[in-house]
Amino acid sequence: MFETEESCVRYIAMIRWPKGLKCVKCGGEKAYLTARHLFHCRACGWQQSVTEGTLLHRTRYPLKNWLEVAWHIFEQKHGLSALGAPTRDGLW
Ligand SMILES: [Zn+2]
């Protein structure tokens, strides 16, 4: 599940913004993931990091190392049934 940095980013985004990503600048709800793993708002071009303001920001470890830990915490807290698969492509 957490094989690539991108899948990690999408997973974190799903946890942080369970109702969908909202641009902090313009409130736009459509964004795509850039090659640098930032969400790029289609409306205003603002780029937002999913890890901004979290413990994971500027971590020198790959996100998947953190997620493997977080996954176990999350799983215990909510149970697997609370999880939807973060497979939606591109749009929120
Ligand atoms: Zn925007």
Please report the DSSP string for 18-29 in residue order.
TT----TTT---
CA of 72 to the centre of ligand 1 (A): 33
87 Cα–ligand 1 center, Å: 23
Q: What is the DSSP string of the chain?
A: ---SHHHHHHHHHHHH-TT----TTT----EEE-TTSEEEETTT--EEETTTTSTTTT-SS-HHHHHHHHHHHHHHHH-GGGPPP----S--
How many angstroms does the Cα of residue 11 sit away from the middle of ligand 1? Answer: 21
Inform me whether the pLDDT recorded for 87 exceeds 70.
no
- The model's pLDDT over 1-16, given as tens digits with 9 standing for 90+, comes to 677 888 888 888 888 8
Determine the distance separating the centroid of ligand 1 and the alpha carbon of 34, expressed in angstroms.
14
**Is the pTM of the predicted complex or chain greater than 0.85?**
no
